[in-house]
Structure 1
Amino acid sequence: MVEDDDGRTPGLTAAGARPEPKQAWGALPWLVRAAVVWSACLVVVIIGLYLLGKVAVLLAPLAIALAVTLFLAALLDPVLLLLRRLRVPRALAALLSLLLLLGILVGVGAVVWNLTAAEFDELSRELGEGLQRSRDFVTTALPISDAQLDKIIGQVRSGIGGGFDLIGGARTAAEVVGSSLLALVLLFFLLKDGRSMWHWVLRRLTGPNQQVTAEAGRAGWRTLSAYSRGTMIIAAIDALGIGLALVLLGVPLALPLALITFLGGFIPIVGATVAGAVAVLVALAAKGPTTALLVLAAVIVVQQVEGNLLEPLIMKRQVQLHPAVILVVVTAGTLIAGIPGAFVSVPIAAVTYRVVDTVQRHRERLAAEKTGAPPPPPAPA
C-alpha cells in the first residue's frame, strides 16, 4: 500500500478511518452538489403537493362549501352592516340577509325558467346544428377524415368525463345538495358571529403575531369582498352587452345565451370563452357565417372592454392575478372538484396571494424599522 511522506495511507485519517461525510461532500463539484440539493427539494415538494391533492380530493365537498360560504358572506356583508346600523339585532340581521339572498336566487331562477324553459330544447338543437357546421368545415378545410375526427372527439370526452356513471352521478348530486345545505347553515352563523369569532382568534395572539394576523385578515377580506361584488357586476355587464348584441343581430335564444354568459363570468377567462363560443355556434346555426362573425366581433369587443377597462376599474388592484396563474388555478380547481372547483379556485388563489403579500410586507417593514432603511411601498388599497 502506498504511503504519504508522513507515513499515512492516502484517503485515511490519522486514526485509519475514511474521510468524514462533510469532507466527501465538499470534494464533489459544485454542480453535482447543486443538482443533488435541488433534486431533493423537488422530490419533497412533489410529495407534499401529492398529499395535499389527496386531502383536497377527500375533503372537496367541505372545502367547496366553506369557499362558497365565504364568497356569499363577503357579498352580503354590506347588507348585514346596513341592517346593523338600523339597530336590527345581529341574529335577525343575519337571517334577513340570508332570506334576501334566497329570495333573489329563487325569484330570478323562476323568472328565467318561465321565460326560457321552452327555448332550451331549441337551444340544444341550434347548438347541435352549429357543431355539425363546424365539423363539416373542419373535415373540408383540413386533412382530417370523419373517422379521425370522431376518434379525437372520443378521446377528449373520455379524458374529460370518462363516461356517465349513474351511481357516480347520484353520489355527486347528493354531495351538491349536502354542500349547498351546509353552505347555507354556515353562512347564517358566519353572518351572525363571524366578527366575534375573528376577534376571539385575535385575542388569543400576542405581540407582533396579533398585528400581522389582523392586517392579513383585513387584506384577505377586502380582496374577497372586491372579488365577489366585482365579479357579479362584471358578469352582469357582460351578459347585458352580449345579450343586446344578440338581440340587435336577430339571433334567437338571446335570453338563455345571456344567462349562460352571466354564469360563465364567474369563471375568469375560461367561462367567458366558453360562453362566447356557445353564442357564436348558435348564431352560425341560426343565421349563417356572417352573423356568426358579427357575434364573434361583439363578444371580443365586450370582453376587451371588460378586461381592459371595467375589471381594473371595479376590481382595482385588490384581485390582480396574472392570466397564466388564473388559467392554472382554474384548471386545477376543475380537475379537483369540477365546475364548483372552477368557481371557487380564483377567489381562493387571490385571497391567499393577498394574505401572503401582506405578511411579507409586514416583515419587510419590521426589518426596515430595525435597520433604518426606507419602508416598502404600501399594499394596494
Structure 2
Amino acid sequence: MVEDGTGRTPEVTAGHTRAAGPRQAWAGLPWPVRTAVTWSACLVVVIAGLWLLGKIAVLLAPLAIALAGTLFLTALLDPVLLRLRRLRVPAAPAALLTILLLLGILVGVGVLVWNLTASQFGELSQQLDQGLERSRDFVTSSLPITDAQLDRLIRQTREGLSGSAPDPVGGARTAAEVAGSVLLALVLLFFLLKDGRSMWRWVLRRMTGPNRAVTAEAGRVGWRTLGSYSRGTMIIAAIDATGIGLALVLLGVPLALPLALITFLGGFVPIIGATVAGAVAVLVALAANGPTTALLTLAAVIAVQQIEGNLLEPLIMKRQVQLHPAVILVVVTAGTLIAGIAGAFVSVPIAAVTWRVIDTVQRHRAPAPA
C-alpha cells in the first residue's frame, strides 16, 4: 500500500477529506446564517410536534375536552377538598362531598338564572336585531359603503354560517359526545380529587437523581398556576359581570341580568370574550335607549375592564400567570382556530402552565454563579 508522504494512505486521506467537507462548508457560513438555520430547524420541529398534538386532540375531542375540564375543576376545587381533609374527612367522602357541592351550586345558579331570564332571551334577540339595524344605518350614512354592498356582505356571512351549521344527525352526535364528556369528566374528577396526590407521588418515585427534584418543583409550580388561573378567572368574571350589570341597571338598559350572565361567561375567554360581551351590551343599549345610552354603556364597559385589567387582575392572579396581552391574544386565536370555543377556553391555561413549567426547569438547570 503506497503512502502519500504524510504517513496516510490516499484512501484514508480522501475519506477524511470527504467527511471534513460538509463540516468545513458549515463552518464557512456566516454566523447569522448558521443561527437562522439552527433556529428554523428547531422551530419546524416544535411546530410539527404541536400540529401533531393538535390533530390527536381534535380526533379525540370528547376525551380531550373531558380531561381539560377535569383538570380545571380539580384545580378549582382543590382548596375545598383540602379543607375537608383537614377536618379528618376520609378521601372518598371528601371528594364526593366536593363534587356534590359543585353540582349543587351549578344547578342552583342555573335554575335561578333560568327562572329570572328565560322569558327575556327572546326579547334579547329582538334587541340585538334592532341594535344591528341601527348600526347598519350608521355605517351606511358615515362610511362610503352602499346598502347593496353591506347587504351582500351580510348575506355572504349568513350563508357561510349556515353552511357551517351541523346537520340534525351531526347535532345529535355532538349532543351525545357532550353528554359523554360531562359524565367522563365527573368520574375523572372524583378519582383525581380522591387519589390525585398519591398518583403524583407514584410518578415521582419513578424518577431518579436530580430529575426528581426538578419534576417535583415543576409539578408544584404548574399546579399552583392552574389553580390560580381557574380561581382568579372565576372571581374576575364575577366582578366584571357584577360591575357591568350594575352599570346597565343604573343606565336603565333592559335585560341587564342576561347581559351580566353573558359577561360572566365571556370572562373565561381572555380579551376576546370581554370584547364580545361588551359589544352585545352596547348593541342592546343602542337599540333600547339610543346612542347616548349606548355611549355611556361603552364608557362603563371600558371603565370596568380597565379596573379589572390594571388593578384587580394583578391583585388576584398575582404573579402566577405571567403572559403578555399580545401572547394571550395570539394563543386564544390559535386555540379558537384549532378547536373552536373549547380551544378558546383552554388555550390560555395551557400556555400559562407550560410557560411556568419551562421557566422552572430552566432555572433549575441554569449553572450557579461563580
The reply to whether TM is greater than 0.5 is yes
Match of 2:239 in 1: 237
1:38-187 alignment runs, 5 A limit? 40-156=41-157, 162-166=163-167, 167-187=169-189
Tell me what 1:272 maps to: 274
Q: 1:208 to 1:247 in 2, by over 3 A?
A: same
3-state SS of paired residue (2:164): coil
Which of residues 227, 233, 240 in structure 2 aligns to 1:225? 227
The alpha carbon displacement at 1:337 in A equals 2.0
Unaligned 5+ segments in structure 1 are 1-5, 7-11, 374-381
Shifted more, 314-323 versus 34-43: the winner is 34-43
Match for 2:55: what amino acid?
Answer: K
Structure in which a larger fraction of residues adopt helix: 2
Q: Which runs of 5+ in 2 are unaligned?
A: 5-9
Distance 2:242 2:175 in 1: 31
Question: How far apart, CA to CA, are the structure 2 residues paired with 1:309 and 1:140?
Answer: 39
Q: How many residues align?
A: 358
SS in 2 for 1:345: helix
Residue 209 (structure 1) shift: 1.1
Deviations 1:321-378 (A, max 9, x none): 11111111111221222212211111111111111111111112xx20xxx53xxxxx
Deviations 1:160-194 (A, max 9, x none): 77421213322222222111111111001111111
Is 2:344 the partner of 1:345?
A: no
Residue 7 of structure 2: aligned partner: none
Amino acid of the structure 1 residue aligned with 2:226: L
- Relative distance call for 1:16 and 1:63 in structure 2 (3 A) is closer
Assess, with a 3 A threshold, how the Cα gap between structure 1 residues 40 and 266 changes in structure 2: closer, same or farther: closer
**Most deviating of 330-339 and 220-229:** 330-339
* Residues 23-38 of structure 1: pairs in structure 2 closer than 5 A: 23=21, 26-27=24-25, 30-31=29-30, 34=34
Corresponding residue of 2:261: 259
Please identify, of 135-144 and 294-303, the stretch whose mean Cα deviation from structure 2 is larger.
Answer: 135-144
CA deviation profile, 1:74-95 (whole Å, cap 9, x unmatched):
1111111111111111100100
Contact 1:84 1:90 in 2 (8 A): yes
* Code of the aligned partner of 1:141: S
**Cα RMSD over matched residues?**
2.4
TM-score (ref. length: structure 1): 0.87
Structure 2 residue aligned with 1:284: 286
CA displacement 1:29-57 (0-9 Å, x = unmatched) = 62596365555555444433432322221
The amino acid of 1:149's aligned partner reads: L
Equivalent residue number for residue 354 of structure 1? 356
SS in 2 for 1:20: helix
1:303 to 302, 305, 309: 305
The 1-side partners of 2:110 and 2:102 are apart by: 12
What's the TM-score, normalizing by structure 2?
0.90
